[in-house]
Amino acid sequence: MKKIFLPAFVLLRMVSFAQDNNVSGNRNYASISSGDKEADIIRKAATVVPSTRQLHWQQLELTAFFHFGINSFTNREWGDGKEDISKFNPSLLDAGQWVKTAKEAGIKQVIVTAKHHDGFCLWPSQYTEHSVKNTPWKNGKGDVVKEVAEACKQYGMGFGVYLSPWDRNSPLYGDSEKYNTYFENQLTELLTRYGKVDEVWFDGANGEGPNGKKQVYNFNAWYTLIRKLQPGAIIAIMGPDVRWVGTESGEGRATEWSVLPVDAQLQDKIAAGSQKDITFAPNGNMMENDLGSRDKIINAKALIWYPAETDVSIRPGWFYHPSENDKVKSPAELMDIYFSSVGRNSVLLLNIPPDTRGLINENDVDALRSWKKNIDETFKTNLVKGAAIQSANGTNTALMLDGKNDTYWSVTGNDTTATIEFDLKSAKAFDVLLLQENIRIGQRVEKFSLEYFDNNEWKKITEGTTVGYKRLLRFPPVTAGKVRLNIESSRLNPTIAEFGLYKLASGL
């Protein structure tokens, strides 16, 4: 695949929005000079770290989307902006029920679709008549965004907003200068009326305006505005902080690097696939299976911490449809998604669409409760706790079992390989491996394997490539009293913050 490099002025502009100091004092970007050798580039890649806001976001692990709007009442996925908004009248709307349902499922942050492509606003925007203020709901006095924000405060949840850049209702769309001002005005309303905003989510959907011209979005001005009004907010997907994983199946890459060449950040690549049904193919796809390997970064102009968010809906559609009440993903399917998103160095963004009553449907609630029960049952006991640990070239081995992701084991010297042996004291049955790196130091592990001791020989259980914030692997059940982790390749000396062996919940 032909490599594309950003012009220097574009690169500097994008990095300026993304750059930030990490708590360790390191940066979440690194420039590469023409004189850098491969070893220099690998060293730089190993020491790029998340910004403070990126680290907080990664630790959330589970977030939720609430797709709700006029589409919920027209039974459509994408509206055209010509809908009869008098149909919007959720008689039992209870944002507290939405947020409480999400929290009970283990979700830490929610994002509400304040405006989708149809242009209908869930808050009484002063810049358009196409909003809740002109609906029967609460006689035009309601504000869905406000109710979600207040529910998040009540339940101690993070709060985010989705504001669609594409607006199929606005007569200004296609007149780039005027529409961008309009968009900034609406963004300002959302960022100043509802208290702290933890995430702002843009997609790349784009089309022609009424004048037949394609709108040119002024993302840089929007980023500046967000940083000014909500400096702690993550700017996601079409933004400098978090990228789209490239599929809406809930399945992330088996090899997921958070450190990428800046040229992999090109917005048109993301926009081309945004909100399309794209799945990974064995030979790659438009978002590529490999974004950050040595081969990818060796010719980069710069490197940046740019982690992946994996989004998927609990139903086939993103908005509520009555015909999908019996098509809610099962707890087992949600568990598969958990392992292939959170378990692959990503944050899961699970869409849970409220129904026309303004409630999370009972079928969705039941699936979420069972899913949470399966997660809790699976990870309640780390079977390695109390093990005797040996690592010939390592130090602080006990920190791998202390339940903290900011403490870590590492090698004593400059080795990039290591073997860590765990004596479990007695034979135990397990079928899940958990690994975490301390990403405050960087993402480094490139290849690892897990073995167990049986009949006087070591036998391989499973293997993987990247670890990052969290890696989860399932495998056929093994019963053993001794296991060992082999780190076969690493960028500089590896770090392991947590190591765990678990048994899947019964029935999975």
- The pLDDT value given to residue 14: 47
Q: Is the pLDDT of residue 408 over 70?
A: yes
For the chain, domains (ranges, CATH) are: 52-378 (3.20.20.80), 388-502 (2.60.120.260)
Structure tokens at 232: 């702690």
Beta bridge partners of 449: 463, 486
**Max Cα distance, the chain (Å):** 76
- The answer to whether residues 378 and 495 touch, using CB atoms and an 8 Å cutoff, is no
Query: Which among 195, 167, 162 is positioned nearest to 180, based on CA atoms?
Result: 167
Can you give the pLDDT at residue 459? 98
pLDDT tens figures, 196-229: 999 999 988 899 999 999 999 999 999 999 999 9
% of the chain with per-residue pLDDT over 70: 90
Q: Name 390's Cβ contacts closer than 8 Å, sequence gap at least 6.
A: 397, 420, 421, 423
pTM across the whole model? 0.92
Pairing of strands 388-390, 394-395: unpaired
> What is the model's pLDDT at position 101?
98
Model confidence at 292, pLDDT cuts 50, 70, 90, reads very high
Residue 285 has φ and ψ, to the nearest 5°, of: -150, -175
Instruction: Give the pLDDT band of residue 192 (cuts 50, 70, 90).
Output: very high
The mean predicted confidence, pLDDT, of the chain is: 90
Which pLDDT score, from 0 to 100, does residue 277 have? 31
pLDDT in tens, 53-77: 999 999 999 999 999 999 999 999 9
pLDDT beyond 60 at 195: yes
1-49 pLDDT per residue, tens: 222 233 333 334 445 566 665 545 568 888 898 899 999 999 999 999 9
pLDDT tens-digit series, residues 455-507: 999 999 999 999 999 999 999 999 999 999 999 999 999 999 999 999 999 98
pLDDT over 60 (residue 275):
no
Pairing of strands 418-436, 388-390: antiparallel
Closest CA to 161 of 236, 74, 89, 215: 236
Residue 55 region by backbone torsions, left for phi larger than 0, else alpha for psi between -120 and 50, else beta: alpha
How deeply is 429 buried, as exposed, middle or buried, from its count of CB atoms within 10 A (0-12, 13-18, 19+)? exposed
Phi, psi of 362 (to 5 degrees): -60, -35
Structural contact between residues 319 and 280, judged by C-beta atoms closer than 8 angstroms: no
**Residue 460 to residue 451: CA distance in whole angstroms:** 4
Q: Do 350 and 358 form a contact (C-beta atoms < 8 A)?
A: no
3-class SS of residue 148: helix
Task: Collect all residues with Cβ–Cβ distance below 8 Å to 193 and sequence separation of at least 6.
Answer: 123, 145, 146
Residue range 349-399, pLDDT digits in tens: 999 999 999 999 999 999 999 999 999 999 999 999 999 999 988 889 999
Q: Are 251 and 340 in contact (CB under 8 A)?
A: yes
Q: What does the pLDDT average to over 406-425?
A: 94
Considering only 25-39, 156-170, 314-328, which range has the smallest mean pLDDT?
Answer: 25-39
Which of 112-126, 250-264, 293-307 has the highest average model confidence (pLDDT)?
Answer: 112-126
Predicted pLDDT of residue 301: 86
Looking at per-residue confidence, does 272 or 406 come out higher? 406
Alpha-carbon distances, residue 398 vs 212, 248, 414, 427 (angstroms): 64, 38, 20, 20
Which position has the token pair 């899961």? Answer: 348
Encode pLDDT of 74-120 as tens digits. Answer: 999 999 999 999 999 999 999 999 999 999 999 999 999 999 999 99
For residue 224, count other CB atoms closer than 10 A to its CB.
Answer: 14
Count of other CB atoms within 10 angstroms of residue 81: 19
Question: What distance in Å separates the CA atoms of residue 169 and residue 79, rounded to the nearest whole number?
Answer: 9
